[in-house]
Amino acid sequence: MRMLRFTIRELVLLVALVGMGLGWWVHVRRLESQRISLQRDLLMQADFVQQFVSVLTKLGCEIPPDSDPRCAVGGPYTRVFVPAELQRQTGCISFTLSGPRPELERTLDGEFQRFRKPQ
């Protein structure tokens, strides 16, 4: 039986290939971990916005679309109007949230539901 003989060049090439493969594998695992973490953060933020909107609507507040003439068009703000009953109690007619409207819309439209695991 004949023994296999490798040159130093072949061993260096083999070590380099194995090193590149392991490096790629570690990189992919890290990216997957970051994706899962980001997904978890987005879902938490979506839940927070959904709960916030739910509380506001239960209080009778109105969150009109940007096309409503009472809202400033073009700004990254969301206007929330307070019902008359709360206006008398708080003296607040409306308030403005300084968050991008598209993010609120994405949450309200249920875009993040597709990332949730079935329970």
Per-residue confidence in pLDDT tens, the chain, 119 aa: 677 888 999 999 999 999 999 999 999 999 999 998 988 888 888 888 788 888 888 888 888 777 777 776 555 567 788 888 888 888 877 777 666 666 666 666 666 666 666 65
Instruction: Give the per-residue pLDDT at 65.
Output: 75
**Quick check: helix, strand or coil at residue 84?**
helix
Give, in order, the Cα–Cα distances in Å from 55 to each of 51, 94, 115.
6, 15, 24
Per-residue pLDDT, 24: 98
Name the residue type at position 85: E
Report the C-alpha gap between 32 and 22 in whole angstroms: 15
C-alpha–C-alpha distance, residues 43 and 58, integer Å: 22
Domain ranges of the chain: 8-115
Selection from 112, 117, 115 nearest residue 45 by Cα: 112
